[in-house]
């Protein structure tokens, strides 16, 4: 592993695309927690002292407690579905060419990422971002393809996925802040500031890419030349609707209340709300975009692609390919399309430096 020392002395990551203040810790008991203790005590009291069933005050107390506990259980179910990621099933191997390193992400937490350096001494960089419930190794064919074109490439298992850990209190804003921290760290890692940057985002990684490209900061604000979106997500509310359990989708006002409260608890400096966490409100990039869309997207359907076409067609070259949504499958058609586009990018933007 490339040693980068401790991150404890570094300033907290702060860019433009995310929220950056750490979650406050409250040690006093909350009403739901108290009620979760009271209800078992009430039930135990009924078991040990059956005569209490004839006491009207007992049933009044139960009548007050049970609805609150039921609400808390619904609250907890939504929290588990949105703010806690799944445990990884296995740890897939990746190419030994990747060099691991650590950097400071959201809240200056230490995370691990990977670099594969250019064999040609290039000062260009590509960042690959995987999708939800995925990992960098799933899209490794994409990353290494750019390396064969001569670029430096960085990627990571995002917070909550793969081997990264940090599954609880998971939010997209934390992930975005992590990526800003990764990009801020890159010049020190490489020993130079990259001249040009491209970001490739698959699925949820596409949503992250759009947000980053529309709110750039630091050295990469001027270096970002274009983005590549493969079957991208374009709406956080639509992602949530697909993740909610059972009939929770029908209780959207409650769900939105829970999402708002949890995001405000986790992020005191919350700067984007549930309702506007989608195109065009989340931001439109000012750089060109190559969009590669699965023709029959079995994961996201067409609603996200419709938003891309409606709000980003003026900056995008769009191609619909006969390939599945998953990044574990690659095709020659996708590779040839990306390579042709990327070679054109390298030639066009090189003129700026001559």
151 and 127 share one domain? yes
What is the count of structural domains for the chain?
Answer: 2
Q: Kindly report, residue by residue over 233-283, the tens digit of the pLDDT.
A: 999 988 887 776 665 555 677 788 888 889 999 999 988 888 789 999 999
Decide if 226 is inside a domain: yes
Q: What angle do CA 341, 347, 352 make, to 5 degrees?
A: 125
Tens digit of pLDDT for each residue in 35-53? Answer: 667 777 878 888 888 888 8
User: Which strand (E) or helix (H) includes residue 341?
Assistant: helix 332-350
The HSE-up count of residue 284 (CA atoms within 13 Å, CB side) is 13
Do both 263 and 329 map to the same domain?
Answer: no
**pLDDT per residue over 202-224, tens digit each?**
999 999 999 999 999 999 999 99
Task: Kindly state whether residues 221 and 285 are assigned to the same domain.
Answer: yes
Instruction: Look up the domain containing 120 and give its range.
Output: 99-235+278-353
Q: Which of 271, 298, 325 is the last residue of a domain?
A: 271
Q: At 174, is the pLDDT very low, low, confident or very high (cuts 50, 70, 90)? A: very high
Question: Has residue 92 been placed in a domain?
Answer: no
Residue 156 in any domain: the answer is yes
pLDDT at 348: 81
Q: Is residue 327 part of a domain?
A: yes
Instruction: Dump the DSSP string for 226-275.
Output: EEEEES---BHHHHHHHHS-GGGGGGHHHHHHHHHHHHHHH-TT--S-GG
* 315 and 204, same domain (yes or no): yes
What is the structure's pLDDT at 51? 86
Pair 211, 260 in one domain:
no
* Residue 338's CATH number: 3.40.50.1820
Whether residue 15 lies inside any domain: the answer is no
Check whether residue 71 and residue 153 sit in a common domain.
no
Q: Looking at the structure, do residues 122 and 75 belong to the same domain, yes or no?
A: no
Domain contains 162: yes
Same domain for 140 and 193?
A: yes
Are 228 and 107 found together in one domain?
yes
Cα–Cα distance, 7 to 114 (Å, whole number): 17
Asked if residue 11 belongs to a domain, the reply is no
* Domain-located, residue 89: no
Average pLDDT over residues 12-35: 77
Same domain, 68 and 133: no
Given a cut of 90, whether residue 329 has pLDDT beyond it is yes
Note whether 261 and 218 are same-domain residues: no
The verdict on 309 and 215 lying in the same domain is: yes
User: Bridge partners of 99?
Assistant: 115
Distance CA 78, CA 76 (A): 5
Please compute Rg for the chain using Cα positions. Answer: 23
Q: Taking the CB of residue 218, how many other CB atoms lie within 10 A of it?
A: 18
For the entire predicted model, the pTM comes to 0.88
């Amino acid at each position: 592993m490339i040693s980068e020392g401790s991150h404890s002395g570094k300033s907290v990551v702060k860019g433009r695309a995310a929220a950056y203040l750490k979650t406050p810790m409250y040690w006093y008991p909350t009403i739901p927690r108290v009620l979760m203790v009271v209800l078992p005590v009430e039930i135990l009291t009924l078991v040990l002292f059956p005569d209490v069933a004839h006491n009207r005050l007992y049933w009044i107390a139960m009548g007050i407690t049970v609805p609150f506990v039921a609400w808390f259980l619904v609250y907890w179910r939504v929290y588990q579905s949105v703010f806690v990621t799944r445990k990884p099933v296995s740890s897939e191997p990746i190419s030994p060419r990747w060099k691991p390193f650590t950097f400071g992400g959201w809240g200056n937490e230490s995370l691990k990422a990977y670099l594969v350096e250019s064999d040609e001494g290039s000062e260009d960089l590509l960042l690959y971002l995987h999708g939800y419930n995925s990992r960098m190794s799933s899209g490794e064919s994409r990353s290494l393809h750019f390396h064969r074109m001569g670029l430096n490439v960085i990627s990571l298992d995002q917070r909550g996925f793969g081997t990264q850990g940090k599954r609880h209190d998971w939010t997209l804003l934390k992930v975005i802040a992590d990526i800003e921290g990764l990009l801020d760290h890159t010049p020190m890692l490489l020993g130079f500031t990259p001249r040009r940057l491209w970001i490739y985002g698959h699925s949820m990684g596409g949503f992250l890419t759009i947000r980053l490209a529309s709110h750039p900061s630091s050295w990469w604000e001027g270096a970002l030349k274009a983005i590549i979106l493969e079957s991208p997500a374009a709406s956080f509310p639509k992602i949530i609707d697909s993740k909610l359990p059972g009939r929770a989708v029908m209780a959207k006002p409650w769900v939105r209340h829970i999402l708002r409260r949890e995001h405000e608890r986790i992020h005191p400096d919350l700067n984007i709300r549930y309702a506007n966490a989608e195109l065009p409100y989340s931001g439109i990039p000012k750089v060109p975009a190559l969009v590669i869309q699965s023709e029959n997207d079995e994961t996201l359907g067409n609603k996200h692609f419709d938003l891309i076409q409606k709000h980003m067609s003026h900056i995008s070259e769009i191609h619909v390919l006969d390939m599945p949504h998953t990044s574990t499958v690659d095709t020659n058609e996708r590779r040839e399309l990306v390579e042709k586009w990327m070679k054109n990018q390298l030639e066009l933007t090189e003129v700026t430096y001559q």
